[in-house]
Amino acid sequence: MVKIMKNLKINHFYVLLIVVLLINGCAGTKDPVTGETKTYEPDPQKRAKEFAEKGGGLFGDLNNRRAGANIYEFATSNVLWRATLKSLDFLPILNADYSGGIVIYDWYSEDLDSKEQIKVSVRFLSNEVRSDSIDVSVYKRICESLDKCKTIKLKNSFPSELKDNILSVARLMKVEEAKKDKK
């Protein structure tokens, strides 16, 4: 029993020694990237104020107070994104991932009793208003009963019409923005 207690004390000593060495290694005054000697403000209130003025903080610059920082609402800078949501506003959205560049709409039919439904997904390949900037996929589902459905990908003119409609709405939005910017 005495031997076990000695081993525990020795193990605690080594753990404490490692922790002290790790903490001491983090307290260097030189910047590891530039090699310059860092100076710190000893007053924590002044240090916090300086850091906040630089746009820092626990969560970064949440209020976009830095000089030259643009204030954007969600996805307002992408004309294609807004044009897609505006053009297909009659469809129920299933999933919209702005950072992933995709909008997936849920199954839709005009009539409640209809056996045919469509599903649209739009992928954004670029932010530019060009025909190769978006990819529109349309799927059609025909159900004979609740458990017997057939799904096909439409390759006719309907996806192209949707794409053209989105692009024309995006062009109109850009023209309107240009008019507002001139004023």
pLDDT tens, position by position, 102-141? 999 999 998 877 889 999 999 998 888 888 889 999 999 9
Average pLDDT over residues 160-165: 93
31 and 94 fall within a common domain: no
Who has greater pLDDT, 97 or 38? 97
Task: Tell me how many domains the chain contains.
Answer: 2
The percent of residues in the chain predicted with pLDDT above 90, rounded, is 33
pLDDT band, very low/low/confident/very high, at 35 (cuts 50, 70, 90)? low
106 and 167 fall within a common domain: yes
107 and 169 fall within a common domain: yes
178 and 112 fall within a common domain: yes
Is pLDDT of 182 > 70? yes
Place of tokens 């910017």: 181
**What is the gyration radius of the CA atoms in the chain, in angstroms?**
29
Predicted TM-score of the model (pTM): 0.56
Length of the chain: 183
Cα 176–105–145 angle (5° rounding)?
A: 145
Is pLDDT of 34 > 90? no
Q: Which tens digits make up the pLDDT trace of 57-103?
A: 555 555 555 544 444 444 556 899 999 999 999 999 999 988 888 99
Question: Residue 120: inside a domain, yes or no?
Answer: yes
Structural domain boundaries, residue 18: 2-39
Distance set, CA 136 to CA 4, 41, 43, 133, 178 (Å): 70, 56, 58, 10, 27
Question: Residue 53: inside a domain, yes or no?
Answer: no
> What is the per-residue pLDDT for 74?
44
28 and 89 fall within a common domain: no
Who has greater pLDDT, 16 or 172? 172
